[in-house]
Structures are given as C-alpha cells and as structure tokens.
Structure 1
Amino acid sequence: IKKCIDQLKAEAPQKHIQNLNNLINSSILEKKDEEKLRDIIKALSQNSHEEILLDLSKLEEEQFNRYLKEIVEAQKVYVSLKHNNSSDLNLLRKLKNKVAVTQTDEMNELYNKISDELVNRDQIIQQIELSNNQISLLNDNLEMLSNEVDELKRIVFEQTKENDSFVLAKKYQEICQEYYENEIERTLKLISEKCTKLIRNTYRKENYITRLEISKDFNVNIFKNKEKKNISQLSAGEKQLLVAAIMSTIIKTSPRNIFVIFDTPAGRLDGEHMVRFYKNIMIDTASQIIIMPTSNEINEEVINSIYSCVSDCYTINYNEEGYSRIHKNRIFDKEWIK
C-alpha cells in the first residue's frame, strides 16, 4: 500500500500534464495563455514518468490513504495488546507457582466438599421430580373431584331453582331498598350542608342560623350553634328566605336541567334581604329563571345586582277595562336598556 501511494505521488505531475493538454486542446484559451501552459507542461515533464501506471481516481486515492491510516492504528493496538498480554502471562506464571505450592490436603478437602454438594444436588433433583409427579397426580384427583362437585351443584340448582329465584329476588329488593335509603341520606346531608352555607350568606344577622338539618322524614330543623331553634320564631321574611334557600339547593343538587318561575318572590322581604335574596339565591338557582315581581318587590339596587344576568324584560299593565298590555324592555315605569 505504501508503494502504491508513492507511485500515486509520482504520477501526480503526469496527471496535471494531461489536464493541461486537455485544456489546450479545448481551444478556449488565448494564444499567449497556451504558450504559458506549454512552458508549465515542459517543466512538469522533467520530473514525471512517461506513462501513468495506476491512473486511479481521487476517491480511490483517498481510499488507499484511509487503508494506510487504519493499518498504522491497528499496528499501535497490536503493540499495546502484545504488551498487555506479556503482563498477563507473567501474572499467570506467578499464580501457577502459588497453586503448585498449595497444600494437597486443602485441595482434597475442597474436592470432597464439591463432590458432596453434587451428590446432594442430585438427591434434591430426584426429590423434586418425585414431588412433581405427586402434584400431578393430586391435580388429576382434584379435577375429578371438582367435576363431581360441579355436577352435584347443577343437580341441586335444578331442584331448588324456584326457591333460589325467590331468595335472589328478595335479596335484590333488600339491596335496592338499602341503596335507596343510603342515597336519600347522602342527598339530604348534601342539601343540608349547601343550604346552611346559602342561608348564612343570605341572612342579615350573622350566625343567626349556624346549621340546618333535613331528616329522613323530611322534617327541617335549624340550629344556632348547638341550640335548636323553633322555625315559628322566624319572621315572615326569614321564613320566606329559608324556604327559597331549601328549594334553590334542591334544584341545584338535582341532575335535571329545569327552569324556575318565581311569582311575587320578595313580597315579605325588606330592602336589604330583598337584595340578598335576588343576588345569593334567585339568579343562581337554575340555568333559566322567570321572575314575576310586583313593583314593590324590586328596586334600583336589585336591578343593578342582577342586570348582567337578565336576558329580556317585560312589564304587564292591567287596565280598568279588564285588558292587559305588555311592554317589552321596560321595568315598570322605567326603560330597560340592555
């Protein structure tokens, strides 16, 4: 490979001469440029062979150079391996000498120990094979017994099918009843918790009602801390807020999507409770709500609190002749601008 590379280097001038001759023969140069090239060719011809022996391409020349580089690297690796191998041989010789001087009794003891272990292993393997055979036999017996049991179960089921159907139906009924009662208890507890929070946010008096409970028989009990309060002690407006809060919580807890109509909803409420009712309870009760208040049940503060939630507004006027007239986009005597 080195000789080939040397030959390629020697051929380089001749290749250049060929390329220059091809350039002259192409007739694209001026005469003075041709004369200069001929002088260059003459100078190159003095140090070149008369003919090209290998005539390799550039890619082939690069491949030769790569081969040479790989051989040089391999040679370095070989020298390193040879050095390491010599060190390993020296280490093996030392170990061999140590083994040679080891006492014979220790070697015999180790040999006997290994022999005993091999014998024990063979015995254990035989025991495992025997146990596997016994397990296989027991599995066969178990399968046969299982088939007999399944057949007996089938016979018993055929004989008692009618009674079993009644028992299963009874159990199913009991399970459904238990689930029904549990769901009622869970739902009432959820409604009680949500309604308590709603009532506490709506009542003007702070901590007036701290807990509301709805029992399984649907009786409503209210507490102030641990003290049970009598609902009859509430004012008319407070009772109206309590009922509205319970109804609103039931509707929001239900998975049904229904619309709600409030007819004269705030007749017994004062100004502050009226605003709290519209803001906390009414506008959040359902996805669609229809309010039918009288002029005394809505004021400017209420309008401002629910303005962004209202889609359409109508005023119905009843005249003395017994006819009603509907005015769209009016809230009693004021225009409703949306």
Structure 2
Amino acid sequence: MIFLELVLQNFGPYAGRQVIKLDPRSGENARPIILLGGMNGGGKTTLMDSIRLALYGQRAQCSTRGNLSYADFLTQCVNSKANPTEKTRIELLFEHIEDDKPIKYRIVRTWEKNPKDGKDALGILGDDDTWPVDSLVNIWDDYIENLLPLGISNLFLFDGEQVKELAEQETPPQIVIEAIRGLLGLELADKLAVDLEILVNRKRKEIADTKDLADLEEIEQRLIEQHEDYQVIEEKLASYKNQVEELEIIQREALDKFVSEGGKIAAERNQLEQQQMERNTAAENIRQSMCDLAADVLPLALIPNLLSQVQVQGAKEFRYQQVQLARDVLLERDKRLLKWLSELKITSEQVDKIQSFLVEDVDNLYTDYSQVEAPWLLADEESLSQLDNFIYHVKNAKTSAKQQLSNLKNLEEELIVLARQVQTAAEPEAYQKLRDAVEEAQNQVAQAKAIYETTRQHLAELTDTLEQTKKELKDYTEKNIDTKNREHIITSAAKVQETLKVFREKLTLRKLNKLEEEVKNCFLYLLHKSDLVYRIAIDTKTFALSLFDFDGKPVPKHRLSAGEKQLLAIAFLWGLAKVSGLRLPVAIDTPLGRLDSSHRQNLVEKYFPAASHQVILLSTDTEIGKKEVETLRENEAIAHEYLLKYNSNTRQTTIQPGYFW
C-alpha cells in the first residue's frame, strides 16, 4: 500500500484547497521519505489526523477528538475562515495490489458545520478519479480492515507522544496493547469466544420451558449488569492507576527538588557540623603531634647522609681499636714464646726462623688494617650504640611524620567537602517548604494508592461474583435442559472454549517469540552500544518488555538513558510493524523527541530510510535540523519536502514546497 496524494480543503488550519504529493516513486529512484516541516501548533498533528480520518471515519483515533461526539469533532475540524457555502473536504489517494495488479482508490470525505445526521459523506473514486465505486462505500470499514486494520494502525501512524509514553511506562499504553492484540490475532480469538457464548445462551433459551426461561433470563440480566459494573470499575481502575502514576511523577519531582536545592543536606546539617568539629579537632591533634616531632629528633632527618657517614666511621674506628689491642696481645705472647724457646736446646738459627715467621705472620694478618686512616672520631662502644639507637628513632619519626601528613591532608579534604555541603544546605524556612511539598506529594500518592487498591479489591470481588453467576448459569443449564442435541452444542462449545484458550496461549507464545527477536534486532541496530542487551523478553499478559544482559541478568529499564528508552520504544513499534507482515506506509509525527545527538543520528541514518517503503515524517526545525536533513539528502532518502507555513495573525497554514533549509 502506498499513499499517493493528500488533499485538504478547509480542514483545521488549512484554508482553501491544498494538495500534498506523497508518492515516493516520483523520481528516477524510489526514495522512501516524504518530509514535512512545521513549527509547534502549525498543523502537523492535524495533518496526521486527516489521514486517520480519511481511512477510518467515525472509528478514527484522532488525537484532537478527546470525548467529543463525531458530529462535534467534525464541526471542530472546519476551518474558522472557511466560506459557509464551501464544504470541508479530505481526499486520500492510495494504491495497493489487488489480484496481482496495482489499483488506485481515492477516499473522499466531505461535511459542513453541524453536519446532517452527525456524520460525513463518504465517496470512493476509482482509477481515473471520476467514476464512483458505490459498492465499496457500504463495505468500506470491512475493506480497509483487510488493508490496514484499525487495531494495528498505530504501529504505522504514530507520534512522538506515543513513543514518549511507551518509553516511560513499564507496561505499554492501552493503544499499543490493542495493536499487539490485533497483530497476534487475539481479537479474533476473543470474538470467537464471545460468539460461542452467545450461541450457547441462545440454545439455552430455545430448550428452556416458561419458568426455566424466566429464571434463565433473570440470571442473564444479572450477568449483563455485572458485566456493565465490571467495565465501569475497570475504567475507574485504569483512571486511578494513571492518577497514581502522575502523582508519583510529582512526588519524584518534589524529592528531586528537595535534594537539588539542599533539603536533604539541611536535614543532616547538625550531623555535618558535628563531623566538621570532629575533623577539625583531629586535624589540630595531628598538627600538635607534628610540632612535638619537630621539637625532638625529626629535624635530623634532613641530614641522613651525615648520620650514615658517622655511623660507618665509628664502626671502622672501633674495629681498628680492636685490631690494635689484639696485635699488642699477640706481640707479647710472641716475646714469651721466643724466651721460652731460647731456654730449650734449640739452635739460634731455628729461633731466628721462628721469630721471622711470627713477625711475618703478624704483619700479614694486620696488613689491611695498617692502611686505615688515623682515627678522628674517637667514639667509644657505648657512644656508637647510642648513635645506632638515635638513627633508629630518626627513621621512626620520619615515617610517623609522613603518615600524619597524609592523615592531615585527608582530613583537610574532608573538611572542604563538608564545608561545601553545609554551604549548599537550604535555609530553615526554605527547607520547611521543600519538606512540606515532599510530604504533601507523599500523602497524595498514599491516598491515591489506597483508592486504587480499594477499587482493585472491588474489581476482584466482582470478578468472583461474575464467575459465580456464570457457574450458576452453567449449572442451571446442565440441570434443566434435556434436549440432547442442544446439550451437545453447549458441551461442545465449552470444549471449544478450552481449546480456544490453549490455542490463544500457544499463538501468543509463537508470535511473541518472533516479536522478541525482531525488537531486539531493531534495538541493537539503532543503538550504538551493542553490548547493552543480549535478549529481550515480552510478558504474555501485560506485553511489558524485560531486558537481559550477556550473563542472563535483568537490565532494569531505569538504567537506560532517556534517549535509549526512546530508541527501545521505536524498536518495539518497528518490530511490531515487521512482524505484522503488512507492506504499509509509516507516518511519524514529532519523530525525534528527547534523543541526544548520537541516538538522533542513528535514527536518521538507520531507521527513517528503512522503516518502510514510504515514510512520512512530520517534524519541527529542532528535531530534524539542518544537519539531519542534509544527511538524508546526501543518502538520497527524501522524495518530497514540504513546509507547513503557519501565519499567527490569520491562524492559517499553507503548504509550500521545500523544508526549513
């Protein structure tokens, strides 16, 4: 399917008749992107609504409709400056393949203010835009459901707010859940289940007697009322849930403000000041200890070389003194030995030889010490022992001084940090206001949660009541209906219901497995960090995404940056579109949101040209800026460029060729 042309006449801010060519194949080579630029409030969302309105009419999920009736919504869409005699008109020309051949249809919807019968006039024109195809008008809703089902249209026609909502919520919003259900075929299974229940109820009525029928109708009426109550409470529960989420956001903002403006530090001010006093006392003690060291032996640590030299010289002189004493002792002994030898009957020659040997031996033993310089330190053994002790104390004093200096530096750094924290602490009056705001937000959240929990319990009780009524209806049928054929239908329908339940579960698992892989691949393709996520899982009930790293550990969603959450949401929508298997155009309003430059570049280069064969981008000048549009042009991705020029004086928008640059 390809959108070829969109015509707006007196629709919203678009006065007169304005035409937008959308065919991406207009050039020599097909270029997928049709780029429409416009400032906020210039008509981008209105243009997106016009496509939805053309396709689906009263069923269209237009962003500006709200709770308006269809007639009031159509009246609201009429241009304020339009000539009362001219009708408001939307035309959408598209092409799709039918019976292996391309065929074109032009959808035309027209209406005037306060439209008659509260609806528009629908016309379908054929290939040459002249002959009407009346046969399609009556079955148009069914026909467009086969081409682009309403349930999954939000996967192809979406806006930045939808992406933002999907990125910030833990579970997808209801509009995306409905699209997923449509994509998985769950709506068909649910409809079949309802049809079976209707069939069974019809058969019950057919085979019940008058009294049984009255009882049966009473039970059915009670069941209908309970269903209605259930829907009302379910809507209230969804509203309360949204209220709780909004109040939690306000609470987080109040807490963030409390912290950023010094409220948390102000609450801890006394403790911080006590820590300051303790650190100052500890620092002063260290300084006093260092003064004591400086008054003792620490200054001698400045002359370690001199102390070492004195120690070495003392040891040498002490050894020299010992050698001299030993030599004197040996010489005395030698004299006694020679005297004794002379008294023996030994020749003088032998005595002389012994004497020469002893002299030479003494000389050889003390040759090394004979070359020592003359003593000048003249230290005794006790003085040298005291010197060793002294040097040991100097080394200990030096080590202690280094450690205390390090401790003092750490304390001074802690004091600087504490001083800054005390300075950033809020004043008592401001602190009280911040604290009151936090407490008020917390009270509101608590009250909203209490209401939500009460409603949830009420809904659970009503669910049990519904199940009891259904069981009563079933038991009533089983006890009072005797017609075998109809009993067989009822019994078979129950079996079909069970089979349908199993089929629905298996279908969901199979489709979700494929969807998980597609979403993961799309996310990693858009992301510049390929090691962030290894696997993505989708809950079969809530359709919430869960991320896991390469170790199989969960990756909490709050750890992702705002840009990464945006990319994950886009990857989710992209994966859903791929799994749908439908070749459909993609239209994106406000596409880039709060993405940073790197993620924005990834989206521009990787997603927009590949999102579909036709991609309609509605952007402001800050989202797709000069750099981004030049990248798209260089990559030959843009087929058409338009500028939605809004005149604030006339409150009218005109469509002009070209972009902001």
TM-score, normalized by length of structure 1? Answer: 0.47
More helix by share: 1
| Structure having the higher Rg | 1
- More relative contact order, 1 or 2 (CA 8 Å, 6+ apart): 2
